[in-house]
């Protein structure tokens, strides 16, 4: 009972304490809220007062700025008005000046009109007088106007021909002064740097025999051995009264070489019969093919040419070892031309590689020109193109005898080096008949021109000196005559190197004192 009362008392005390705490906390919260509201109202009022102050300050600043802008605008307007006033004054002055100029121009136009009228009347008067004078001149001279014009044109033609001769002479002298010295230096330097053997070859080969008894064995019973040999090699075997010698003759230099090698081996072996001939000839063909390729590679080395070359082109190049032109070995000539061309290209700054390569291959067409239609230059160009050579090399090969037009300096160098190699003393040989005919043709060309008295071909046909009649050819026409003769020689004749044309005009007056 007591415990229950105690518990109830404690519970009641707790309830009363909780209620009192709640009331206390609630009153404190209301007091804080009231304080917060009062603080907020105070802050808002302060902010409103500050904003009002700022607004008033901004209004004052804006009014001051507006006044300042207004003052500046008014000042600028005043300055613009002053400038406009000055411009108006200047325009007024210009208008006045233009008015004065218009007046002056009108006066000048009137003056020009008066002068034009005076000139027109003067021109009419001059035309009338000119007609009268022409009529009077026709009556005095006995010539009509067309006849007088024709005579005048004839005299002008003579004068123009004289001027043309003078121009040709002057231009020629000027070109010689600029070019001749340098060309001679380059050519002379190049030829001095090159040392080449001078050889002469023919279309036959002589093979020595140990005895005349060997001739019978070469011929064989009823000529069967010599027939088998000629059929296998394609050459002609000439056996005459020359002691201990047989001659191998053939236009094809490769077949001729195969025949020579085969004959020497047969003579050395001693067993001469058709079966053995076929074996020896077959082996000789293989050996000559190897020699041609080796000769081609040696030519590349001698000409200082690097890079690959087609095998067929290398074979044709080596075949030139057995080819001759006017007694000059074509392969040696090609190597010489390559070295000449390379030196000249280096002297003038051209492409040395292209120049050397084209120069070495320039006569490769001669190895097959007896088998293919066309000139050796075009044949060589086509074969080089087929073998993968560059367009520059192909063009230089094809153009070295002017078969096609030259386009680059390398084309000209190849043709020049070819001419230098062929024209140097001892390089080639020609028959006496051909030599005399060439000299006679030179003199005939010179004598066919008007005013030429005598013509002499000298220096082995490398120069022609022409004596002219002084009464028909003066110094100015002499230059044109030399030019015309040189062009005719270029078009009508074929010759190695170059030919100098010299026209000589000499006047002599002779009296005898008694």
| Strand order from edge to edge, sheet including 245-249 | 204-208, 245-249, 236-238
Q: Is position 496 within any domain?
A: yes
Residue showing tokens 């009464």: 471
In degrees, to the nearest 5, what angle opens at C-alpha 38 toward C-alphas 35 and 42? 140
Residues 316 and 226 in one domain: no
User: Domain limits at 499?
Assistant: 432-505
Token pair in block for residue 133: 């004078």
Q: What is the CATH number of the domain that holds 323?
A: 1.10.3210.10
Establish if 38 belongs to a structural domain: no
Strands (E), 306-412: 324-325, 328-329
Other CB atoms within a 10 A radius of the CB of residue 488 amount to 15
Give the whole-angstrom CA distance, residue 316 versus residue 313.
5
Going from the C-alpha of 190 to that of each of 104, 170, 198, 363, the distances in angstroms are 79, 30, 17, 21
**CA gap 109, 103 in Å, rounded:** 10
- 477 assigned to some structural domain: yes
Determine what percent of the chain falls in helix, strand and coil, rounding each to the nearest 5. Answer: 70, 5, 20
Measuring CA to CA, which residue among 361, 378, 254 is closest to residue 314? 361
Residue 440 counted as domain residue: yes
Pair (412, 488) in one structural domain: no
Please tell me the distance from the alpha carbon of residue 323 to that of residue 332, in angstroms, as a whole number. Answer: 10
Where a domain ends, among 412, 429, 446?
Answer: 429
Helices (H), 387-513: 391-399, 409-423, 432-447, 475-492
Regarding whether 404 and 312 lie in a shared domain, the answer is yes
pTM of the model: 0.48
Task: Tell me which of 256, 281, 302 is where a domain ends.
Answer: 302
Whether residues 379 and 394 share a domain: the answer is yes
Q: In this predicted structure, what is the pLDDT of residue 272?
A: 84
Under a CB-based contact definition with an 8 Å cutoff, are residues 338 and 359 in contact?
yes
Alpha-carbon distance of 456 to 474, in angstroms, equals: 20
Q: How far is the C-alpha of 468 from the C-alpha of 503, rounded, in Å?
A: 7
Six-digit token string for 489 = 């020689």
- Structure tokens that stand for 33 in this block: 């809220």
Q: Identify the pLDDT of residue 258.
A: 86
Which DSSP helix (H) or strand (E) runs through 341? helix 330-348
Residue with tokens 């909780």: 18
Does a structural domain hold residue 437? yes
Distance CA 87, CA 112 (A): 36
Cβ-count burial of 400 within 10 angstroms (0-12 exposed, 13-18 middle, 19+ buried)? buried
How many independent structural domains does the chain possess?
A: 3
Residues 263 and 287 placed together within one structural domain of the fold: yes
Mean pLDDT by 10 residues, the chain (514 residues): 72 78 77 80 85 86 87 89 90 88 89 88 85 74 70 73 76 70 62 45 70 81 85 84 80 83 85 86 88 86 84 86 75 88 86 89 83 83 88 89 84 84 54 71 89 83 85 82 88 76 81 74
CATH number at residue 242: 3.30.1370.10
Q: Is the same domain home to 309 and 383?
A: yes
Burial class (CB in 10 A: 0-12, 13-18, 19+), 468: buried
- Residue at a domain's end among 429, 449, 482: 429
**513: three-class secondary structure by DSSP:** coil
């Amino acid at each position: 009972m007591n415990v229950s009362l105690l518990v109830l008392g404690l519970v009641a005390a707790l309830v009363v304490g909780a209620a009192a705490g709640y009331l206390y906390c609630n009153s404190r919260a209301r007091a804080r809220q009231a304080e917060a509201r009062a603080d907020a109202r105070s802050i808002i009022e302060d902010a409103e007062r500050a904003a009002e102050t700022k607004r008033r300050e901004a209004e004052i600043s804006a009014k001051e700025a507006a006044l300042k802008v207004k003052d500046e605008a008014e000042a600028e307007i005043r300055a613009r008005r002053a400038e406009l006033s000055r411009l108006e004054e200047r325009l007024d002055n210009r208008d006045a000046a233009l008015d004065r100029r218009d007046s002056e121009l009108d006066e000048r136009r009137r003056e020009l009109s008066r002068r034009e009228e005076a000139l027109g009347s003067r021109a009419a008067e001059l035309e009338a007088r000119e007609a009268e004078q022409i009529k009077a001149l026709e009556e005095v001279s006995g010539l009509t106007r067309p006849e007088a014009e024709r005579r005048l044109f004839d005299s002008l033609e003579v004068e123009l021909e004289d001027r043309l001769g003078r121009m040709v002479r002057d231009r020629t002298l000027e070109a010689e002064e600029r070019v001749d010295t340098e060309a001679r230096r380059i050519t002379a330097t190049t030829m001095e740097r090159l040392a080449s053997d001078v050889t002469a070859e023919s279309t036959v080969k002589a093979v020595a025999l140990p005895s005349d008894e060997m001739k019978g064995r070469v011929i064989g019973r009823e000529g069967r051995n010599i027939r088998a040999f000629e059929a296998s090699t394609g050459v002609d075997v000439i056996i005459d009264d020359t002691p201990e010698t047989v001659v191998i003759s053939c236009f094809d230099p490769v077949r001729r070489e195969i025949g020579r090698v085969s004959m020497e081996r047969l003579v050395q072996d001693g067993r001469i019969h058709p079966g053995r001939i076929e074996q020896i000839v077959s082996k000789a063909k293989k050996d000559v093919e190897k020699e041609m390729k080796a000769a081609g590679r040696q030519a590349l080395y001698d000409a200082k040419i690097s890079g690959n070359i087609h095998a067929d082109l290398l074979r044709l190049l080596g075949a030139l070892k057995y080819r001759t032109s006017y007694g000059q070995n074509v392969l040696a000539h090609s190597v010489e031309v390559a070295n000449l061309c390379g030196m000249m290209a280096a002297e003038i700054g051209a492409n040395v590689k292209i120049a050397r390569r084209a120069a070495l291959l320039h006569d490769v067409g001669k190895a097959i020109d007896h088998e293919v239609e066309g000139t050796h230059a075009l044949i060589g160009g086509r074969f080089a193109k087929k073998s993968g050579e560059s367009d520059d090399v192909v063009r230089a090969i094809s153009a070295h005898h002017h078969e096609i037009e030259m386009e680059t300096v390398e084309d000209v160098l190849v043709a020049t080096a070819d001419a230098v190699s062929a024209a140097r003393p001892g390089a080639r040989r020609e028959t006496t008949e051909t030599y005399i005919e060439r000299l006679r043709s030179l003199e005939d060309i010179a004598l066919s021109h008007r005013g030429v008295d005598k013509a002499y071909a000298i220096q082995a046909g490398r120069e022609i000196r022409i004596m002219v009649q002084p009464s028909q050819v003066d110094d100015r026409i002499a230059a044109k005559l030399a030019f015309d003769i040189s062009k005719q020689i270029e078009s009508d004749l074929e010759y190695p190197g170059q030919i100098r044309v010299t026209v000589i005009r000499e006047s002599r007056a002779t009296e005898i004192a008694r």
